[in-house]
């Protein structure tokens, strides 16, 4: 089975932009940003959450991604242009949304189990594990890395924010690289969220459209119930793909966890799913958009969650 970042390569390689150094190499920990700055690509809910004191403090976000290869991509998250590895981008993006969280990395070249830290953990998986159509996911032998992620999602031990993929097909269907069987294996798990991409952040005044590349929830209601979409402002950042939708939800999960400090990973993921909006999406459809656009403000609204 081949593993690759869930990344829309042609568009990324065609656009130049940048990033300041995101953190340490694989397996390292990166410090929180000292002075967070709201960026134009962020939803306005992010700055509002910061003003209430919720910035991801006390939460560990681990990104399973490429931090060691020679492949780099161009983009700009608002603090300068550069070429960086895929994982450096996803790390930077999530850390800019939840600046007080602790961030750790697990390189894709490391196929050993992904470790968890004490407290609430959020795992960001902006990659897919691909194979030919027609395989039975229940009989496949995943790497210890992927098996641990599936296990954490099944047991509710960590929020798993999984990039939906960039073939414009329903979750579980074959795209250009075949079927993403990591997506298939996460179906029905307690704390996984599939994350698709809107072309921009939506609002009731200007509803957003699904990005042309984004995979969709499809007709499977089990998948629909675990599927969210968020805006990927590629025109501003130069970064395309559901790879850059998943870190937004990872950041949101950390922020929500920093308010509801006793909540479990399953409660945090369900809170994000249950408070999603449909009125900010043009021609909303559960088969395309799942539960709808993640709404950080709605997720933070109650005094407590169950």
| Cα 214 to Cα 98: distance, rounded to the nearest angstrom | 24
Which residues are paired to 174 by β-bridges?
Answer: none
Q: pLDDT exceeding 90 applies to what percent of the chain?
A: 84
| pLDDT for residue 222 | 98
Tell me if residue 280 falls in helix, strand or coil: coil
| pLDDT for residue 58 | 97
pLDDT in tens, 272-293: 999 999 999 999 999 999 999 9
pLDDT in tens, 26-66: 455 554 555 789 999 999 999 999 999 999 999 999 999 99
Q: Which of 272, 179, 164 is nearest to 210 (CA)?
A: 164
Asked if residues 39 and 77 have their Cβ atoms less than 8 Å apart, the reply is yes
Q: Which of 228, 205, 217 is nearest to 275 (CA)?
A: 228
Exposure class string for 109-136: b at 16+ Cβ within 10 A, else e: ebeebbebeeebbbbbbbbbbbbeeeee
- Domains of the chain in sequence order: 2-300 (3.40.50.200)
pLDDT in tens, 87-118: 999 999 999 999 999 999 999 999 999 999 99
Predicted TM-score (pTM) of this structure: 0.91
| Cα 27 to Cα 110: distance, rounded to the nearest angstrom | 9
pLDDT of 16 over the 80 cut: no
pLDDT in tens, 169-184: 999 999 998 999 999 9
CA 147, 86, 265, 209 torsion-angle sign? negative
pLDDT in tens, 198-250: 999 999 999 999 999 999 999 999 999 999 999 999 999 999 999 999 999 99
| Cα 82 to Cα 69: distance, rounded to the nearest angstrom | 16
Average pLDDT over residues 253-263: 98
pLDDT in tens, 76-86: 999 999 899 99
Helix or strand (DSSP H, E) at 127? strand 127-131
Q: pLDDT exceeding 70 applies to what percent of the chain?
A: 89
Average pLDDT over residues 118-143: 93
Q: Which of 94, 135, 125, 139 is nearest to 6 (CA)?
A: 125
Q: What are the start-end ranges of the E strands in 152-201?
A: 159-163, 179-180, 192-198
Query: Cα(first)–Cα(last) distance of the chain, in Å?
Result: 38
Give, in order, the Cα–Cα distances in Å from 84 to each of 23, 128, 181, 239, 264.
11, 20, 27, 11, 33
CA 106, 255, 93, 51 torsion-angle sign? negative
Q: Tokens in use for 243?
A: 């790879």
| pLDDT for residue 228 | 98
pLDDT of 19 over the 80 cut: no
pLDDT of 122 over the 70 cut: yes
Residue with tokens 């609204």: 301
Q: Tell me the pairing of strands 29-30 and 102-107.
A: antiparallel
Tell me which of 19 and 160 has the higher pLDDT. 160
């Amino acid at each position: 089975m081949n593993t690759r970042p869930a990344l829309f390569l042609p568009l990324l390689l065609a656009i130049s932009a940048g990033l300041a150094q995101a953190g340490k190499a694989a397996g390292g920990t990166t410090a929180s940003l000292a002075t967070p700055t709201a960026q134009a690509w962020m939803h306005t809910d992010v700055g509002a959450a910061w003003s209430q004191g919720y910035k991801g403090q006390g939460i560990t976000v681990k990104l399973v991604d490429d931090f060691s290869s020679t492949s780099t991509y161009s983009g700009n998250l608002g603090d300068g242009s550069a070429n960086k590895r895929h994982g450096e981008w996803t790390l930077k993006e999530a850390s800019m949304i939840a600046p007080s969280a602790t961030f750790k990395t697990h390189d894709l070249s490391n196929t050993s189990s992904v470790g968890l830290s004490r407290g609430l953990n959020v795992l960001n998986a902006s990659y897919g594990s691909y194979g030919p159509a027609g395989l039975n996911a229940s009989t496949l032998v995943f790497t210890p890395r992927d098996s641990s992620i599936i296990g954490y999602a099944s047991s509710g031990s960590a929020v798993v924010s999984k990039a939906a993929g960039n073939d414009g097909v329903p979750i579980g269907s074959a795209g250009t690289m075949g079927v993403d069987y990591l997506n298939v294996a996460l179906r029905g798990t307690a704390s996984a969220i599939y994350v698709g991409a809107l072309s921009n952040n939506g609002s009731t005044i200007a509803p957003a459209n699904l990005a042309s590349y984004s995979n969709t929830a499809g007709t499977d209601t089990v998948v629909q119930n675990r599927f969210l979409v968020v805006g990927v402002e590629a025109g501003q950042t130069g970064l395309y793909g559901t790879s850059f939708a998943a870190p937004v939800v990872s950041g949101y999960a950390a922020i929500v966890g920093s308010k509801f400090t006793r909540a479990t990973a399953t409660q945090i993921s369900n809170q994000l799913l249950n408070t999603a909006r449909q009125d900010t999406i043009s021609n909303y459809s559960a088969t395309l958009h799942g539960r709808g656009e993640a709404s950080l403000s709605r997720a933070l609204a109650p005094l407590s969650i169950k």
